[in-house]
Amino acid sequence: KRGINIMVSSLPSLPPVATADPSACILDAFRIAIAKRLSDALSPLTLEQAYSGVDYGKKGVDFTVALPRFRLPGKPDELAGKVLADFQPDDFVASITHDKAFLHFQLNTANLIREVLNQVHTLTYDSPTGKASYGTNESGKGKKLVIEYSSPNIAKSFHVGHLRSTIIGAFLDNLYKACGWEVVSLNYLGDWGTQFGMIATGFEKYGSQEELKKDAIKHLYDVYVKVSQDAEADPDVKIEAAKWFKRMEDGDETALSTWRFWRELSVNRYIDEYSRLNVSFDVYTGESEVGKEWQDKALKRLEEMGLISDANGAKLVDLEKWKLGKAVLRKADGTSIYLTRDIGGAIERWEKYKFDKMIYVVASQQDLHLSQFFKMLKLMDFSWADRLEHVNYGMVLGMSTRKGTAVFLDQIIREASSVMHDQMRKNEEKYNAVEDPETVSREVGITGIKIQDMAAKRINNYTFNWDRMLSFEGDTGPYLQYAHVRLTSMERKNPHLFPLPPPSQIDTSSLAASSHARDIAILLGSYPDVVKVALKTHEPSGVVTFAFRLAHAISSAWETLVVKGEADDDKARARLWLYLCARDVLGAAMRLLSIRPLERM
Ligand code: ARG
């Protein structure tokens, strides 16, 4: 445990609490101070117990304690009386109010502001790790996460379900890293199955090497659509396709080399498109890479356990006992299927990575599928089976572009850019001042999509709405980018105040009189907690909400906490510093959400 006398703080020293780390979250110090008052007054309450009862307050209250939760003898009034007896304000607590079963604590404003800004600044620019680390923690140190997300199917459409997996997965990837985990990200492509037999069958008739090189994802999809139409009229097409896929499964080199070529071209294109979304994967794997060995072994083990029955040559697993239905594990022609590949794949990943946790970010439509294969792994007694976790999410309704339904990722990205571009052009004056409208509109458009996607609980369905997400008003992506740009521009607009002196030489006392400065400071101070909560819930929405609360607090401060018109340079510097710290934390929250914060727009 790191010492409590942290170098950044000029506050009096406090006793340590196991779950607190003031060197990463200065509000922990204030919470310890509150807990100490409680445990001193309310024996036998320990410091640790008291600490766990200190919650954020509602509306204008910094921290609140619900006395009954400590289960101490005596009525709340008596307990409150003991805490309040001979109350003296100190460096941490300015006042306490008693309201029924609650005690409300207000922090010492001057110290709160100074200490929060100090910590944000230090951990952003002088972090011991050398990287900006404000908001991060080391709870996952030494642990390894494998996370699978996006996982589109080659030659089929990239639908919004895949987009959600990509967005939520990228967030979780960043989040676990921010909490000290080693993270291996996988993109598990749907790169195996009869659809490749279909394409091979159709390629002679509809394929073009030239089109393939131009845009493999689109061309393979087009071929697949055409040959599927043929198949409806002519059953032989499907038989041909199945034969071709069987050759692939049997390791026929000519069949495989064609397939490999298609796959590679598609992956290269995906790498490009993901990078536009600010997403990258450590490993592109796929259903094709799952070996036969474990799929066979799994089937055998489940057979020995009496869970397999035969249905016209196909193998069926019966999970009715666990209310998970029946599922096919192997087709009559011996070829593998999605479910079996997931079982084999999980075992191989375990052997390769020995993870502490493995997350699958997959739509809730596949809840049953994931429960089934998680269950089978448990039945097979793998000690690590309970390390698997399914992070699911609801559906997106009505994702279409002006040209119709989007089937490719690059259509979605292009539509977001162009809708945003049109939006920006509506304000001609502003538009003409933008240096690189192409990039800006793309980034802001993508931000709009991401924010809309992460604004509510994952499990909720939502309706895709270009107008709403691309507006500069309301809680939208563009609004957040705008808030960040405006904060960034302060540096440019106030050259006479630059460079700012080191924190120890900035006098922040003038900020204490401003409730706006106080609101901003406490929000900034809460950011490390926002990150911790997100790790527990796997919900990006808490981070989105935080970003908007911060952006709103900043925009309410603009008019009273002016920098440019302030004649007193010391005051102006303190304010500027507050805004720059706000920019850094807003930027950190946006990056956590996989958004690239813009500097100009
Ligand atoms: N490719 C699949 C689909 O598009 C998603 C894969 C999810 N991951 C998994 N391990 N099953 O439906």
Q: How confident is the model at residue 216 (pLDDT cuts 50, 70, 90)?
A: very high
Phi, psi of 183 (to 5 degrees): -120, 130
Helix, strand or coil, per DSSP, at residue 30: helix
Please report, rounded to a whole number, the percentage of residues in the chain having pLDDT higher than 70: 99
> How far apart, in Å, do the first and last CA atoms of the chain sit?
44
pLDDT of residue 66: 98
Q: Whose CA is nearest to atom 1 of ligand 1?
A: 190
C-alpha–C-alpha distance, residues 58 and 273, integer Å: 43
Q: Would you state the structure tokens that stand for residue 179, as one six-digit string?
A: 């909490």
Residues 6+ apart with CB under 8 A from 357: 143, 144, 145, 146, 387, 388, 389
pLDDT bin (cut points 50, 70, 90) of residue 6 is very low
Q: What is the pLDDT of residue 129?
A: 83
Say whether pLDDT at 290 is over 60.
Answer: yes
**Greater pLDDT, 366 or 499:** 366
pLDDT, average across residues 392-406 = 83
> Is the pLDDT at 468 greater than 90, yes or no?
no
The stretches of 426-473 forming alpha helices (DSSP H) are 428-433, 437-454, 466-469
**Is residue 59 flagged as an active site residue?**
no
Closest C-alpha among 470, 465, 426, 430 to residue 446: 470
Residue 361 tokens, joined: 């970010």
Ramachandran assignment for 332, one of left (phi > 0), alpha (psi -120 to 50 degrees), beta (any other): alpha
Does 302 score more than 60 pLDDT? yes
Confidence tier at 117 by pLDDT (50, 70, 90):
very high
Which one from 82, 104, 144, 156 is the annotated catalytic residue?
Answer: 156
Model confidence at 406, pLDDT cuts 50, 70, 90, reads confident
Distance 190 CA to ligand 1 centre (A): 7
Q: In the predicted model, is pLDDT for residue 221 greater than 50?
A: yes
Residues 6+ apart with CB under 8 A from 585: 120, 134, 135, 524, 527, 550
Beta bridge partners, 194, equal none
406, exposed or middle or buried, with CB in 10 Å at 0-12, 13-18, 19+?
buried
Residue 71's pLDDT band, with cuts at 50, 70 and 90, is very high
162 noted as active-site residue = yes
> Mean pLDDT across the stretch 19-25?
95
Pocket test for ligand 1, best of 154, 163, 188 (most atoms within 8 A of CB): 188
Q: What is the mean pLDDT of the chain?
A: 94
Average pLDDT over residues 343-365: 98
**pLDDT value, residue 1:** 34
For residue 288, pLDDT over 80 is answered with yes
Closest atom, ligand 1, to C-alpha of 366 = 12
Separation in Å, CA 397 to CA 177, 403, 464, 465 = 31, 17, 6, 9
Taking only the tens place, the pLDDT of each residue in 230-277 is 999 999 999 999 999 999 989 999 999 999 999 999 999 999 999 999
Beta bridge partners of 343: none
Listed in order, strand segments (DSSP E) in 192-325 are 283-286, 308-311, 314-318
Q: Is 188 in the pocket of ligand 1 (CB under 6 A)?
A: yes
pLDDT for position 7: 45
DSSP state letter for 10: -
pLDDT tens-place string over residues 158-167: 888 999 999 9
Does residue 365 surpass a pLDDT of 60? yes
CA of 362 to the centre of ligand 1 (A): 7
3-state secondary structure of 220: helix
Does ligand 1 come within 6 angstroms of the Cβ of 151?
Answer: yes
Mean pLDDT of 572-599: 98
**How many other CB atoms sit within 10 Å of the CB of residue 533?**
14
The size of the chain, in residues, is 601
Closest CA to 164 of 442, 343, 397: 397
Rounded CA gap, 482 and 472, in Å?
A: 8
- φ/ψ of 358, rounded to 5, equals -130, 125
Share of the chain above pLDDT 90, in %: 87
Q: Is the pLDDT of residue 328 over 80?
A: yes
- The pLDDT of residue 442 is 96
Give the confidence band of 189 by pLDDT, cuts at 50, 70, 90: very high
Spatial separation of the C-alpha atoms in residues 121 and 221, rounded to whole Å: 50
**pLDDT at residue 4 in the model:** 40
**pLDDT tens digits, residue range 576-589?**
999 999 999 999 99
Question: How far, in Å, is the centroid of ligand 1 from the Cα of 166?
Answer: 12
Tokens of 212: 């393939």
Q: What is the mean pLDDT of residues 509-526?
A: 97
Looking at per-residue pLDDT, the higher value among 9 and 141 belongs to 141
Of the pLDDT bands very low, low, confident and very high (cuts 50, 70, 90), residue 398 is confident
* Alpha helices in 250-366, H assignment, sequence order: 253-276, 292-304, 338-353
Determine which residue's CA is closest to atom 11 belonging to ligand 1. 342
Judged against a pLDDT cut of 50, whether residue 2 lies above it is answered with: no
